[in-house]
Amino acid sequence: MKLLPSLSAGLAGAVALTILHEAARHQRPVDAPRMDVLGMRGLRKLLSNAGAPPPDSDTLFGLTMAADVMSNTLYYSFVGSGRHAVRCGLLLGLAAGVGGVVLPGPLGLGEAPSNRTPQTRLMTVAWYTVGGLVAGLVARAWRGR
């Protein structure tokens, strides 16, 4: 698949995922996944290891959102353009969602933001899967052009 279609499919999936996360964070503060918190913890850790001063909380949040959208865009851009782009997107999303539940603890980022309740775990997996589905559908639409 060419660069522009790949990145646009990835961006569509990343934006869908971010919108879901942010909307739920405001609507369901008790059990919504807080991937933003995991991202800020990870970014703080990276900056600390690099010897950089920690940014203020607003800057940290903005940097985290930008990094999340960029990294998810690149990840979802792997859906490809073949007949199976939607299936590939679903599998990529499912893998990312399971990773979002399982990996934060071992990475030293804490478990609560994505693993607090069964609903939190389910939403985490479902939303990453939706992001993959959106990316796959956009890739398929580009293929039809």
Q: pLDDT band at 1, cuts 50/70/90? A: low
pLDDT single digits (tens) 65-107? 999 999 999 999 999 877 899 999 999 999 999 999 999 999 9
Q: How many residues does the chain have?
A: 145
Domain range summary for the chain, segments of one domain joined by +: 3-143
Q: Whole-structure pTM over 0.85, yes or no?
A: yes
Instruction: Spell out a b/e string for 100-121, using b for 16 or more CB atoms within 10 Å of the CB, else e.
Output: bbeebeeeebeeebbbbeeebb
pLDDT single digits (tens) 120-139? 999 999 999 999 999 999 99
